[in-house]
Structure 1
Amino acid sequence: MEYYIGAWKKFAEFSGRARRKEYWMFVLINVIVSAVLGFVDGLLGMMLLANLYSLAVLIPSLAIGARRLHDTGRSGWWQLLWLVPVVGWIVIIVFLVQDSHDENDYGANPKMA
Structure 2
Amino acid sequence: MNFTTAVKTCFRKYVDWNGRALRSEYWYFYLFVILGVIVTSILDAATGLFIFTGLFYLAILLPMLFVTVRRLHDVGRSGWWMLISIIPLAGLILLYWMIIEGDKGDNAYGPHPLGGVGDVSDTFS
TM-score (ref. length: structure 1): 0.92
- The answer to whether residue 9 in structure 2 is matched with residue 6 in structure 1 is yes
Query: Matches of 2:9 and 2:114 in 1, distance apart?
Result: 16
For residue 95 of structure 1, the aligned residue among 78, 94, 97 is 97
Q: Which amino acid letter does the alignment assign opposite residue 78 of structure 1?
A: W
Cα deviation for residue 89 of structure 1 reads 2.5
The SS at the match of 1:21 is helix
2:123 corresponds in structure 1 to none
Amino acid at match of 1:89: G
2:60 corresponds in structure 1 to 57
Report the AA paired with residue 30 of structure 1. V
C-alpha distance in 1 between matches for 2:115 and 2:21 = 12
1:30-68 deviations in Å (ceiling 9; x for gaps): 110111101110122232110111011111111100000
Instruction: Report the count of equivalent residues.
Output: 112
Match of 1:51, SS? Answer: helix
Q: Which consecutive unaligned segments of at least 5 residues does structure 2 have?
A: 117-125
> RMSD of the TM alignment (CA)?
1.2
One-letter identity of the residue aligned with 2:108: D
Unaligned runs of 5+ residues in structure 1 are none
**Pairing of 1:1-113 with structure 2 (within 5 A):** 1-85=4-88, 87-102=89-104, 103-112=106-115
Distance 1:106 1:10 in 2: 15
Which has the larger displacement, 56-65 or 76-85? 76-85
More helix by share: 1
User: Equivalent pairs: percent with the same residue?
Assistant: 32
TM-score calculated relative to the size of structure 2: 0.84
Q: Which amino acid aligns with 1:67?
A: R
